[in-house]
Structure 1
Amino acid sequence: MVYQQKPWLKLYDPRVSENVCVKHESLYDFLEGAVKRFGDKSAFTFYGKVFSFTETKIIVDRLASSLHKQGFKKGDRVAIMLPNSPHYIFTLFAIFRLGGIAVQVNPMYVEREIAYVLDDSGAKFMVALDAFYPKVKRVQSDTTLKRVIVVSFGEERQELGEGDHYFEEVLQGVIDVPAVEIDPHEDVAVLQYTGGTTGVPKGVMLTHYNLLANFNQVCDFIYNTCENMPESFKMITVLPMFHVYGLSSVALCGIREGANQIVLPRFDVKEVVETINREKPFLFAGVPTMYFALNSQPELIKDSWLDKMWYVGSGGAPLPVEQAKTFEKLTGATLFDGYGLSEAAPTVAFNPPFVPRKYGSIGIPVPSTVVRIVRETEDGEYIDVPVGESGELIVSGPQVMKGYWNRPKDTEEVLKDGWLFTGDIAKMDEDGYFYILDRQKDMIIASGYNVYPREVEEVLYMLEGVEEAIVIGVPDTYRGETVKAFIKPKQGYTLSMDKIIQFAMDNLAPYKAPKEVEILAELPKSSVGKLLRRVLRDEEISKVKA
């Protein structure tokens, strides 16, 4: 019962409560509260264009009114395929106001992946960047999609299909939005697609309460303990909002605290450093590969503003200790690591600024969260392992998802008796700090993105001439892991590495496509003929270590 006693609480700052306080009934209610508090303060700055909190709400309400007039009703889904921009926030909160569900679509998705998410979610509306519009239209006939709202950052306009409009066009007219009752514990706000052993992405159902709880948990750890937080402060929002880490831990936290978010659509080392030096932000959050990129340009970061920020955090993938030390040596800043997953909206634990940081640790659980390390007995029961021993990390807290969209069996596999089984192997030390050691799941984390081998293998099997395929993650000093495929060709077929890689690039988002391919006469199998991914993974890890 040691985990149930929450030994990490002794590390909590007195200004951080053991339990999170959620003050709002819905995410739109939360936005209204922020507007009342911050009014004409700058909320978002996007390449010189500034939107105040008040202006943000006006645009949100106009978009919600337009969607309502087009027949949108509570429970309907709207897909969003945008890079970071204020338009992302406008769209999200318009959906939340109507009681709809935002479907997160990765802008790197190829047509096959876009079609799958649209079809699986049943989205009737979509807000997409103009550059993605042709791809969306090519798959529309195979989906439930009815109308597309197009966002353009330039002056050029392409001709749109019937029923489709540019973002600015739909904001016209009198605001008319019906009152919608939200049950924050039951009503889904976001579908965050993630992969799985079945080879197809699953929609993680995050309720209004899941997200409200989680960004408050994060904010309590970071902001409640700052004695000198400026009344008006800036933060860099470059983590992608299409992933719940960037959405919850950055964008929504920024709204809660009244920050002026300097929004960047993509991570470019020079642009980010120049922006940091010019804007002098209060904090910065990134994924490990962003810090690897920063480390690769020491002359650019050694005299930057990075060491003057209140908090610099990393998440989304394991942070190598040596990379963290290199960053700190170059900048003088302290880099804090953390841990989460889409199914937990996403944050479970991280290193807050008020505790001594331990290299290699993901930190301590956030408020209202219990983390246990367990092992399964021969009888199928799960028991806690002693402190310092390894086992599967399981989580209980208000941020844990409602389940997977239309997938009750998959939900039952990971949600058991109120606990989320993460599939990650971890341990807790005597002080209450947690450490991730390995993964039970075959998931690959490449540049902070989750890649599920089965999905990549399914695509490779579509290539004529492939008899067997195994995909693994190979340790990579830059990406964390690189996707590698092992292929056994069918008899009589000749396959080249370049052909296989190109086929994968044509059918998968770039971060999922294998960067390495090895063609073998035979792939390892068990006595019953099951392909053994772990054998190849262990061999590759041994090569890297050697």
Structure 2
Amino acid sequence: MNEDSGGKGEAFGRSEARPWLDRYPLQIPHSCEYPKTNVAGLLFDAARDYPDNEAIDFLGKRYTYKALLRECRKFANALRSGPGFAKGDRLAIMLPNCPQAVIAYFGGLMAGAIIVQTNPIYTERELHAQLADCGATTLVTLDLLQSRALKAKEGTALGRIVVTSLSDGLPFPKNALYPIKRRKDYPDLKVDYRAAGVVRWSRLLRKGKSAPICEEADAEKDVAMLQYTGGTTGNPKGVMLTHANLLANTAQLAAWCYRLEDGKERYLAALPLFHVFGLTVLMNLAVKKAGSLILVPRFEPRAVLESLRRRRPTVFPGAPTMYIALLNSPLAKPDDFASVRVCVSGAAPLPRDLQEKFEQQSGGRLIEGYGLTEASPVTHCNPVWGYRKFGTIGVPLPGTEARIVGESGLDPLPFGELGEVVVKGPQVMAGYWNRPEETADALKDGWLRTGDIGTMDEDGFFTIMDRKKDLILAGGYNVYPREVEEILFEHPAIQEASVLGVPDEYRGETVKAYIVLKVGWQVSEMQLDKWCRERLAPYKVPKAYEFRTSLPMSLIGKVMRRKLKEELAEREEGNIKIN
């Protein structure tokens, strides 16, 4: 414990059920004040107080907060002046980290849209399923992805596709050189701006007026965003996050990182903004603190190291796989991380040796947190400055309650006993889009059942012991075995298939498929890999295949994944003994 540690009495109702409050640093309140406005108010405040501060740096192209607000207003006005767009319509954004992603997000919120973040590496099948479920009427995407979007559009409510290019956000002369590189890298790419409903990003913004616009929001009732998650079943579900949910989680994180100064920090955005982790801890938090958002289109060690050297960021949220790749890169230099003061790691367990090595090189703090899409997403975090415990996810954020419960109800279990983690707080979702039964299953008396199994100790620190029954967490992405298995079952050579996560030093877990072939059929790993890559996003594709004559089955004919895991553990134990 250091000078920041200590408790503060009864501000949040201190009781034996909330032992974590005694471990809060003195500077952190037990609860926060949460704005009751449109999320776009974060940008209005930053542009008012720090108009000339840098808001975005994209490979050398910089926007001040005043300029960013102007571009967002132009997008919002153009969106609302278009045919058939009204408050509550869904705006899908399928972009990598680039200025257009930020402009479409805040501009869409100003226009009264419900934002739907979409993964740019989704296949046509995956994109169609999401668009059909959410009923999006407008999609903003890259020229590289236009063909996929046009194919996925069929049978959905999508009427307008706004197509942009990375060159739209690049500085001169990179914006002039990019089309040459694009033609070289994608010689077969054809962008059809004459297709029905397709609009150029640049033309849309030229038509948009920079006049003030902001649709008022009933923050606690109006949905700001649908963030898709598969849950434990693998069926895509739109998590309804209200304006109040997103603003609350942003305020909680700002309070947690209390040493960060308004208008002075630089946030390295290597996490994708289309993921709720990156959206909250980077885009929303950076704008709330009027900091500079240093955008990296995709995580690649060389590009991230260049950004670290060029801009010397002070805040760098990420996943363990990112820190591992950077520290192990032959291009890394000892002082590359010296400017970083705060790193919040999520999406996978944080190894202690990685934490210690990164902190030694940076001089900053790398701490582990926890969250889930249904909670906007952060619910727990180790104190950045103060008492922390290695191997834990930390303690609940201000205004957040959490407990460990058994199968029979919501009564808390004793310290150290294993059970399900449940949470309650202003960041917890309103429910699942058009899924009342699944909403009722997930939310009980205001408590969100996470499905994650863990413990809480006497100090209020939580440890996750196991995740949702079948969920695979590969490099920070959720992979649902059932979805992968269904694709494998479609292959004519496959009789039985089962998928589970296996340990991976880099990705935390990776996907392994167990295959039983039909009699007389033969198929190679390479052929199955091609089959899956044509139908699944890359992170869902199995990285290993094991061909077997049978799979362990229960009496009712269900594959027993537990048995497969036990076999794998025994095999690994045997390898360790041999070595």
Contact 1:487 1:517 in 2 (8 A): yes
How far is 1:333 from its partner?
Answer: 4.2
Contact 1:294 1:301 in 2 (8 A): no
The 2-side partners of 1:411 and 1:92 are apart by 26
How far is 1:323 from its partner?
Answer: 2.8
The equivalent of 1:118 in structure 2 is 131
Give the counterpart letter for 1:337 in structure 2. Answer: E
The equivalent of 1:163 in structure 2 is 197
The equivalent position to 2:253 in structure 1, one of 218, 225, 231, is 218
Query: Residues 232 and 412 (structure 1 numbering): CA distance in 2 closer, same or farther, change over 3 Å?
Result: same
Give the match's secondary structure for 2:343: strand
Alignment pair present for 1:367 and 2:398: yes
Percent identity over the alignment is 42
The 2-side partners of 1:3 and 1:536 are apart by 43
The equivalent of 1:406 in structure 2 is 434
Alignment pair present for 1:452 and 2:480: yes
Give the counterpart letter for 2:48 in structure 1. Answer: K
Give the match's secondary structure for 2:356: helix
Alignment pair present for 1:269 and 2:269: no
Residue-by-residue CA offset, 1:288-337 (whole Å, 9 max, x unaligned)? 11011022126614222x24422122111111223323434555543211
The equivalent of 1:480 in structure 2 is 508
Give the match's secondary structure for 1:192: strand
The equivalent of 1:232 in structure 2 is 264
Give the counterpart letter for 1:520 in structure 2. Answer: R
The equivalent position to 1:489 in structure 2, one of 508, 511, 517, is 517
Give the match's secondary structure for 2:402: strand
The equivalent position to 1:36 in structure 2, one of 36, 40, 48, is 48
Contact 2:14 2:21 in 1 (8 A): no
How far is 1:231 from its partner?
Answer: 4.6
How far is 1:230 from its partner?
Answer: 7.4
Alignment pair present for 1:91 and 2:104: yes
Identify which range, 521-530 or 536-545, moves more after superposition: 536-545
How far is 1:435 from its partner?
Answer: 1.1
Identify which range, 383-392 or 248-257, moves more after superposition: 383-392
Give the counterpart letter for 2:377 in structure 1. Answer: P
The 2-side partners of 1:331 and 1:142 are apart by 51
Give the match's secondary structure for 1:183: coil
The equivalent of 1:48 in structure 2 is 60
The 2-side partners of 1:307 and 1:209 are apart by 36
Give the match's secondary structure for 2:388: coil
Residue-by-residue CA offset, 1:257-298 (whole Å, 9 max, x unaligned)? 111111111112122122212212221111111011022126
Alignment pair present for 1:280 and 2:312: yes
Query: Residues 150 and 4 (structure 1 numbering): CA distance in 2 closer, same or farther, change over 3 Å?
Result: farther
The equivalent position to 1:535 in structure 2, one of 563, 566, 576, is 563
How far is 1:446 from its partner?
Answer: 0.3
Contact 2:38 2:216 in 1 (8 A): no
How far is 1:129 from its partner?
Answer: 0.9
Query: Residues 240 and 79 (structure 1 numbering): CA distance in 2 closer, same or farther, change over 3 Å?
Result: same
Query: Residues 197 and 230 (structure 1 numbering): CA distance in 2 closer, same or farther, change over 3 Å?
Result: closer
Contact 2:402 2:422 in 1 (8 A): yes
The equivalent of 1:514 in structure 2 is 542
The equivalent position to 2:121 in structure 1, one of 104, 108, 125, is 108
How far is 1:15 from its partner?
Answer: 2.3
Segments of 5+ residues of structure 2 without an aligned counterpart are 1-12, 168-175, 180-189
The equivalent of 1:344 in structure 2 is 375
The equivalent position to 1:136 in structure 2, one of 135, 141, 149, is 149
The equivalent position to 1:436 in structure 2, one of 464, 478, 490, is 464
The 2-side partners of 1:347 and 1:493 are apart by 48
Give the match's secondary structure for 1:216: helix
Alignment pair present for 1:207 and 2:219: no
The equivalent of 2:29 in structure 1 is 17
Give the match's secondary structure for 1:148: strand
The 2-side partners of 1:344 and 1:87 are apart by 26
The equivalent of 1:186 in structure 2 is 221
The 2-side partners of 1:177 and 1:74 are apart by 16
- C-alpha RMSD over aligned residues: 2.0
How far is 1:461 from its partner?
Answer: 1.5
Give the counterpart letter for 1:187 in structure 2. Answer: D
The equivalent of 2:385 in structure 1 is 354
The equivalent of 2:8 in structure 1 is none
The equivalent position to 2:206 in structure 1, one of 166, 172, 197, is 172
- TM-score, normalisation: structure 2: 0.89
Identify which range, 323-332 or 433-442, moves more after superposition: 323-332
Identify which range, 176-185 or 514-523, moves more after superposition: 176-185
The 1-side partners of 2:376 and 2:153 are apart by 29
Give the match's secondary structure for 1:471: strand
How far is 1:4 from its partner?
Answer: 6.5
